[in-house]
Structure 1
Amino acid sequence: MNEFLLITGMVIVTFLIRYPVLAMSGRLQLAPWFLQLLRFVPPTVLTAIVVPAVLMPNDQLWLDFTNARLIGAIAAVGIGVWRKNLLLTIVVGMLVFFIWQWLL
């Protein structure tokens, strides 16, 4: 019962925080410079999530060729810059990660 109340409370709080902004989104006119800044939010957040997971999987900096996550990330960045194809980038990065992990 406590879990149900906890989840219900989280739903209500989340709704009350987000709904007013979404309801007014059609009426608000944001400055072009602000809209341009908002384009950088997704890559920034993704970088903040991925970089610590790749470089510090055990809460210590791991810059070594035995770090399969680092090797996979380097391969993914290389393919992403070269081909500019998101699906190919993900597939190659994961393949390199799994193969490197299997080899070690």
Structure 2
Amino acid sequence: MNTVWLIFLVLGALTFLTRFVFIALWGRLRLPAWVQRALNFVPVAVLSAIILPELVLNEGHLNLALDNPRLLAGAAAVLVAYRTRSILLTILAGMAVFWVLRWGMGG
């Protein structure tokens, strides 16, 4: 049991230090303009990496068919996001389309 606690402490310290270094250096560190521009795309890339597999994978298999309610709801959400630029409307539209399709497809 002591080994487990030691591992927890070491991993916790490493996690803290890797994050603290960037926070402590944030005001002193000058990043090139191209790095700052690239960092603007990090949230979109991370969110896409999380959401896309949920939309196109069904039980571990790629499902790009029109009977995939998640994919269609995701497409509807993208359209709403593009047109309105509203996070709330995007979520509401995507969920509404998903629920209607799931109900209509009997799933």
TM range (shorter): 0.7 to 0.9
- Structure 2: tracts of 5 or more residues without a match: none
- Identity score, percent: 37
* Count of matched residue pairs: 103
Map 1:1-104 to 2 at 5 A: 5=5, 7-104=8-105
- Structure 1: tracts of 5 or more residues without a match: none
Q: Which consecutive segments of 4 or more residues in structure 1 shift more than 6 A?
A: none
Whole-Å Cα distance in 1 between the matches of residues 11 and 24 of structure 2?
20
**TM-score, reference length from structure 1:** 0.87
Cα shift at 1:63: 1.3
Give 2:98's aligned amino acid: F
Cα shift at 1:8: 4.2
Q: CA RMSD, aligned part only?
A: 1.8
Give 1:27's aligned amino acid: R
Instruction: Give SS of 2:71's match.
Output: helix
Cα shift at 1:11: 2.4
Whole-Å Cα distance in 2 between the matches of residues 42 and 9 of structure 1?
28
Whole-Å Cα distance in 1 between the matches of residues 9 and 94 of structure 2?
39
Cα shift at 1:86: 1.1
- Once the two structures are overlaid, the 10-residue window that deviates more, 73-82 or 49-58, is 49-58
